[in-house]
Each structure stands twice: as structure tokens, then as C-alpha cells.
Structure 1
Amino acid sequence: MTDSATSDSLRERKRTATRTAITSAARALTSAKGLNGYTVEEVCEVAGISRRTFFNYFPTKEDAIIGHAEDDVPADAIEEFVAGAAGSRPGEISPTLFSDLVRLSLRLAEGMTESEEDTRQLIGVVKKEPQLILKIIGVTEQREAQFARDVARREGVAPDHPVVQMAVVLLSTIARKSSMAYFSDGNTRSYPDLLLENISAASLLFSQPFDSTATAAEGNQ
């Protein structure tokens, strides 16, 4: 790695650490005082940053609570996923796309386990301040749009390619379902276990024979 690349990597890690500190402080203050019970200055004091630094990272307290769209997806995991189609012809869906998507999902699941307490804190904050759900939806849409671009880059197709779009919809839905089960009261199973169970169920369903022409003809009768 060159000195320039090392410097860039260290700078990005520092930026990620600062964003994480701001988000952690904002969530803790919201849990304790409610969204309108504290100021940006208090967030800065807890996070050990200046007001100017806060606004360099987040435009509002609400955005700080939800966090940055890229922080849950390690760049090296994405690049490893994209490189998985290196032997395929651009424009043709690679034969390992599904298995590599599962592998990527499990890699990201490791991050969820490591940040479990932060996620539980966010769930508690949203229950206290349900208006934050709209912000979460916005960040989720950003993440899904970026995921579509990453899958498209890997396969050498446009982000609106139907296979790319279906990959995003399916994996996002399975991840949400698995997360809901994992964080539900009384759950004793691991998140990767739940994730694999749901992926296996989807795989079984879509592996069944399907004749689109015959089905369409029957529907038109």
C-alpha cells in the first residue's frame, strides 16, 4: 500500500470514528431526554467535537441519530463482492452472483452482531420518537440504491437491470425480516442463523419449476 493510500485509509477511519461518536452521543441523549430535550451543543460536548465538526457530518440531530448510510457496509466487503465476477463477461449475470450475495450478507451480519447494542439503542430511540421512522426510510433507500449500483458494477449492467433490482429487493427484505426476528422479545437464535434460514427458504421457493408463458396464458383465460 502506498503512503497516499495509507493516509487516505487512516483519514477515512478517523472520519468513520467521528461519525460513530456523534451518532452514539445523539442516541444516548435522545434516550435520556427525548429528541427535543437537548441541543446540538450537548451532542458536541459528549462526542468531544466542535459545533462546526457536527455540521460537517450531519445536517440535523435526526440525521445524527440515524447515522451515515455507508457506515454499516465495510468498503472492503463490497470490493471483495464486486471482484467475485472478475471471470465473467460484462453484461452477463455471473453464475456465482447468488452465492456471493449470501456470502456478503453473512459478512455484513458479523457487523450487526458487533454493533448489536447500538442497534438495540436505535430501536429504543425510534420507539420513543416514532417520527424518526421517515428518516430511517430515507437512509434505507439510499443504502438500497447504493447496493444496486454495486451489484450492477459487479455484473457490468445498468442498476435498473431486473436481476439487480430483484437482488436488492430480496436481500433487503430478507435482512429486514431476519432483523425483526432477531431483535424480537424472547429470541435466542443468532442473526446469521435466522438470515440463512430465510435465504434458504427463498432459494427453495424460487428453485421450483416455473413456466412464465404457461402461467401468463392461464391468467388470460
Structure 2
Amino acid sequence: MSESAPNARERRRANAVAEATAFAQARTIEHGLASFTIEDICEAAGFSRRTFFNYFASKEDAVLGILQTRDRDDDIEAAFIASRGDLIDDLVTLSVARWTRQAVPLADAATVGAAIKSEPKILTRMLSHIHDSEQGATALIEQREGYEAGDPRAVTAALIFGTFMRMTFDEGITAGQHASFEDILRARVQLARALFTSTESPS
């Protein structure tokens, strides 16, 4: 009983989030972001406005399917900081764990792409998330490696990895359900490693 109750709550939460996101995406694609309110999302998903803000920071985030994490990632961030493995590999592991916890299938990336084309504000919000993610990654790398704040090595590593993340999402929009987030991300990292370690001269 102690395990089934939390699992049931998580399933209800996941279903409510999925309904809210599906509604927000469909309305954005069809009529734009201004065609519906947060209250409309709540009615479609069957929860209150207060619950909405427990799940999402904004209407744009509901369209993107980006959840409020607050302290939910403390455990995976602590594991990243404590690890002494390869930095990029550990960043991949951290990102995959976060993506899995978000529970947003990469197959939905095509729908998000359609919403972005319909509503430029969605792209602006996504770019803001990417910027925040890169700043957060910089801080984690500094803590893990013992760098001073603003160390260019941490900044560079975070920016490079942020590029991998953007490429992964862009490819996910076209690949959809035929590839997983982790598979695409690891393939991009592997390609970059091969590129930078190649001794062959360009033809």
C-alpha cells in the first residue's frame, strides 16, 4: 500500500499534465496562444488554477510541456557533482535523467515544433529555458570541478553541451517517435568526439 498510493498519484499527475499540454498545444497550433486562458487549460485537464502553477510556470510552459521542477532534481544533480567520471558523459546522464523525470516523450517534439511555428512567443520561452539551463549547468560544473565562479572552462563546457541539447531537440522534431532523446543525444556527442579526435585531414 505504501508504494501503490504514490504511484497512483504520479499516474494521475502525469495524465493531468498530458491533458493540459495536449489542449494547450492543439489550441496554440489552431488559433494561437491568445485564443485560450490558463483557466481553459485547467478546465480541460480537470484541475484548479493553483494546481496549474504547481505544474507549470506559465501558459507557454504548458505548451512546451516543461514542468516546474523546484527541488525535484536535487538527487540527480548531487549524483552529477559527486561523480568523477567523464564530464560530458556525466552531463548526458544528468540530462537524460531530467528528461525522463519530465516524462515528455520526444515524439511530442514535432507537435511542439508546430506550436512554435504558429506562435513566436513559444520559441522565445524555449530560448529562455535553454539559457537558464546553460547557466545552471555552468554552476554545477563549477561545483563539481572546484572552479571559481565564471571560470571559462565551465562556461565553455556548458555552452557546448547546450548545443548538443538544441541539436537533439531539433532532430527530435523530425525524427519523432523513431528515436529516443537519449539515443539522439548520445549519437551527437559521439559524433563530436570523433570529429575532434580525428587525425585525418579534411578532403
Q: After TM superposition, is the score higher than 0.5?
A: yes
Residue 47 of structure 2, aligned match among 38, 49, 73: 49
Structure 2 residue 143 is matched with structure 1 residue 153:
yes
Give the deviation of 1:108 after TM superposition.
5.1
Q: Hey, what does 1:120 align to over in structure 2?
A: 110
Structure 2 residue 63 is matched with structure 1 residue 65:
yes
Higher helix share: 2
Q: Distance in 1 between matches of 2:18 and 2:139?
A: 25
Give the deviation of 1:150 after TM superposition.
1.6
Q: 1:185 to 1:50 in 2, by over 3 A?
A: closer
Over alpha carbons, which structure has the higher Rg?
Answer: 1
Give the deviation of 1:60 after TM superposition.
4.4
Give the deviation of 1:103 after TM superposition.
3.6
Structure 2 residue 81 is matched with structure 1 residue 82:
yes
Q: Distance in 1 between matches of 2:43 and 2:90?
A: 43
Q: 1:26 to 1:146 in 2, by over 3 A?
A: same
Q: Hey, what does 1:200 align to over in structure 2?
A: 190
TM-score by length of 1: 0.65
Q: Deviations over 1:95-118 (max 9, x none)?
A: 732332344355456568862244
**Alpha carbons 1:69, 1:139 under 8 Å: kept:** no
1:30 alignment partner AA: T
Q: How many residues end up aligned between the 2 structures?
A: 192
Q: Name the SS of the counterpart of 2:114 in structure 1.
A: helix
Q: Hey, what does 2:34 align to over in structure 1?
A: 36
Q: Deviations over 1:12-53 (max 9, x none)?
A: x79x85766644442243234432222222111112222344
Tell me the C-alpha RMSD between the 2 structures: 4.0
**Alpha carbons 1:151, 1:159 under 8 Å: kept:** no
- Aligned pairs (5 A) from 1:152-171: 152-171=142-161
Q: 1:110 to 1:151 in 2, by over 3 A?
A: same
Q: Name the SS of the counterpart of 1:36 in structure 2.
A: helix
Give the deviation of 1:164 after TM superposition.
1.0
Q: Deviations over 1:73-100 (max 9, x none)?
A: 9443322211103xxxxxxxxx732332
Q: Distance in 2 between matches of 1:173 and 1:64?
A: 24
Structure 2 residue 140 is matched with structure 1 residue 142:
no
**Alpha carbons 2:25, 2:112 under 8 Å: kept:** yes
Q: Distance in 1 between matches of 2:104 and 2:57?
A: 27
Q: Name the SS of the counterpart of 1:49 in structure 2.
A: coil
Q: Distance in 1 between matches of 2:51 and 2:179?
A: 40
Q: 1:59 to 1:192 in 2, by over 3 A?
A: closer
Gaps of 5+ in 1: 1-8, 86-94, 210-221
Q: Distance in 2 between matches of 1:69 and 1:208?
A: 41
Q: 1:98 to 1:58 in 2, by over 3 A?
A: closer
Q: Distance in 1 between matches of 2:190 and 2:108?
A: 28
Give the deviation of 1:190 after TM superposition.
4.8
